[in-house]
Structure 1
Amino acid sequence: MTINFILSSVLFLALIQTSIASGIAIYWGQNGNEATLNDTCASGRHTYVNLAFLNKFGNNQIPELNLAGHCNPSINGCTIVSPEIKICQKLGVKIMLSIGGGKGNYSLASKKDAKDVARYLWNNYLGGRSTSRPLGNAVLDGIDFDIELGSSLYYDDLAKFLKNKSKGRAKKKVYLTAAPQCPFPDRLLGTALNTGLFDNVWVQFYNNPPCQYTTNNTDNLKNSWTTLVNARKIFLGLPAAPQAAGSGFIPVDVLTGEIIPVIKKSRKYGGVMLWSKFWDEQSGYSASVLKSV
């Protein structure tokens, strides 16, 4: 083995570690007209892809996956995504199942209910076994909590049960991520986040006037960013286009010139989260901000 080869290998590993240190997370699955999962990962712009959403679970309901126009899980049609998930993972992209969302029917009725949901997620999407895995035999990298409806109860228990399920039984790390609103503590996820079990938190700095960017005013966002969130890394959650949210879109020049240089100083800075892949394709937002992120 030559010295040049060793140096090249070290440099390559350093580049990989740098790219993982910060990046862009994106939500995929809620518009059948967006790019395939393969194309999303092959773009090289995303470190995390959240599959949106498992929007029915808890309260003795049969859980339901909703990937909009991409596939129909009721006829076992979403197993076609399994090979794409594996390709994404080989490219170094972490694939998460996002539970919740803005439309659906979900809540946790008790600690036992949280344990049952954790068992379901483990067996059907993570490292467990089931004869009815909606996404086939691909093993996802973790669970994303995008809880926007119902009660805050027992999501801390769900996080604990998921972590306990994975301890000593997972062949790879199981990630927990969350997408709370920017007024902190989040009404629905605050208690869960206080467990300290979450790896990445992509805070939604949109549809939240008190703490989001408004025209010519970055102060609210910058001040909110400094709020302590108990997570390893914090991402700045943004709409990928003006039409993607009711408010909070940040022009590229403002994000790259005024906001990212400030929040990058935080040791918890993880990158940017975008809603969603469909809107990102319309605007080219991730391509425009990638180098700065």
Structure 2
Amino acid sequence: MVFLTSSSLTLLASIAFALRATRVYGFNPNTNNNVAAYWGQDAYGGTPNSNQALWQQPIDFYCEDDSIDVLPIAFIKTFFGTDGLPVLDLANSCSGPSFSGTGLFNCQFLEQNIQNCQNKGKLVTISLGGGGQANAFSSASQAQQFADTIWNLFLGGSSSTRPFGNAVLDGVDLDIEGGSTTNFAAFVSQLRSHMNGASKHVINAVGFDALYVQFYNNYCAVSYYNSPGDWDFGSWDNWAKTQSPNPNVKIYLGVAAMAAVADYGYVDIGTLTPIIQQTQSQYSSFGGVMMWDASAAYANNRFDAAVKSAVGSGSSSPPPPSGGSGNRIHPNGDTSKCLDVQGGNFADGTPVQIYDCNGTGAQNWVINSGVTAVQVAGTNYCLDAGDTPGDGTQMKIWECYSGIPAQTWYYTGDDRIALNGQGQCLDLTNGALGDGTIMQIWECTDNDTNQVWTLS
């Protein structure tokens, strides 16, 4: 995985694109019940009056059961230390001799621990950055060279200074909380180029696979769940479905695993469980829960196991609708006008228009909130954007095919019907309400009333 921090919506987040090994993982990126927990900083051990017996254990200690699916190792705190090598800081877990006097410690004793986790179906990544760090790249070429270094030190490359020996990690987590993000695209692209040709490969060819959003230590904390002006998981879900280049991107609910490891925003498992389950059921982009960190979760009455129980067995994205009585779809709340199949002709290529509402089957659509097909009720025809959708592409119906991009839409919480992950929305052409106006798609734009569609 590669995670790149985003400050969008004032939250710290981690965007991921994942690797899959040739072996079979227990982790399934397409479900909504995954749990990730950072390891390496012993957050619990740094709290007042902590029980030393529960201080951070070897990483495979937290892989003994099914509670945690992904373990990012934190942190490479400095990108360029002595001799230009990154500086590795793993709290109490790696304090042995460094390579050539650098801050890159020889932690080869962790090799077997990491492999033990991987053999149990866990993903293990390396996290770069962390709180209080301000790493940046001076140029695209420097970013590309750093990607080469990370590849050779931790992933599928080779080096005489591999800190974890022969253990090949499953990716990189970038927790960039300070400094400029300029040239990080060059870093990600270069790393992807290595991954594409390796024994592990990028799961999705375009975009990122997961985004960890921190819902603690900020005004959107999970403790503000009952404050609609603060709690904004829906905004992230909307981003995922209307702007993310990857229509399968998953949003993780990031929580503190113990009150003592957060400034504020921690909630106990009794409070958190219904929040997890409601969010999981409401948003198809929900991928699971991220926790800071593994040591705190274990010490807090197995908070990790309780969270895993809360997410349950999970499910994949819901399938498109297959029929039913349907709804009328109105432009911007105008209930006198309806989305209509021209001439009631249910055939491939028939244009979709706006027309006076008349109660006919040509205006009856099956549409769900979240990921959905937009299907003419009682038929096998769906709203279709064609092979090369773009601004001005006219809408038509076509035989329904499950999962194809041209027919995979997302009905957002703010009443937009967006092509899933493509940044294009169903649009009332030029705002014209005259009968026979053919509908189009256009770049999704906030506060554009031509892209608001309501149901009745």
Q: Equivalent residues in 2 for 1:1-293 (5 A)?
A: 16=26, 21=31, 22-31=33-42, 33-58=55-80, 61-72=84-95, 74-75=97-98, 76-104=105-133, 106-168=135-197, 170-173=198-201, 197-209=207-219, 211-214=220-223, 217=226, 219=228, 220-221=230-231, 222-229=233-240, 230=244, 232-283=249-300, 284-293=302-311
User: Which structure 1 residue ranges, 5 or more long, are not aligned?
Assistant: 1-14, 177-194
- How far apart are residue 208 of structure 1 and its match? 1.2
| Distance change in 2, residues 1:151/1:27 (3 Å) | same
Contact conserved, 2:279 with 2:286, CA < 8 A, in 1?
no
SS at match of 1:291: helix
Q: Residues 217-276 of structure 1, C-alpha deviation per residue, up to 9 Å, x if partnerless?
A: 253324444341435211111100111111121222222113432344322211000001
Contact conserved, 1:27 with 1:276, CA < 8 A, in 2?
yes
Question: Between the two proteins, what is the percent identity of the paired residues?
Answer: 32
Moved more, 109-118 or 255-264: 255-264
TM-score by length of 1: 0.80
| Cα distance in 2 for residues equivalent to 1:216 and 1:54 | 33
Contact conserved, 2:111 with 2:166, CA < 8 A, in 1?
yes
SS at match of 2:159: coil
TM-score by length of 2: 0.53
Contact conserved, 1:205 with 1:212, CA < 8 A, in 2?
yes
User: Which structure 2 residue ranges, 5 or more long, are not aligned?
Assistant: 1-24, 46-54, 99-104, 312-456
| Distance change in 2, residues 1:42/1:246 (3 Å) | same
Specify the code of the residue in structure 1 equivalent to 2:289.
Answer: V
| Cα distance in 2 for residues equivalent to 1:102 and 1:73 | 23
Contact conserved, 1:35 with 1:277, CA < 8 A, in 2?
no
Larger Rg: 2
| Distance change in 2, residues 1:65/1:78 (3 Å) | same
Count matched residues.
Answer: 259
| Distance change in 2, residues 1:215/1:237 (3 Å) | closer
The runs of at least 4 aligned residues of structure 1 exceeding 6 Å deviation read 17-20
| Cα distance in 2 for residues equivalent to 1:16 and 1:80 | 25
SS at match of 2:38: strand
Residue 440 (structure 2) aligns with: none
Moved more, 51-60 or 27-36: 51-60
| Cα distance in 2 for residues equivalent to 1:145 and 1:20 | 21
- How far apart are residue 74 of structure 1 and its match? 4.3
| Distance change in 2, residues 1:167/1:69 (3 Å) | same
Structure ranking higher in helix proportion: 1
| Cα distance in 1 for residues equivalent to 2:30 and 2:284 | 14
SS at match of 1:108: coil
Residue 179 (structure 1) aligns with: none
The Cα RMSD (Å) is 2.6
Specify the code of the residue in structure 2 equivalent to 1:51.
Answer: I
Contact conserved, 1:142 with 1:175, CA < 8 A, in 2?
no
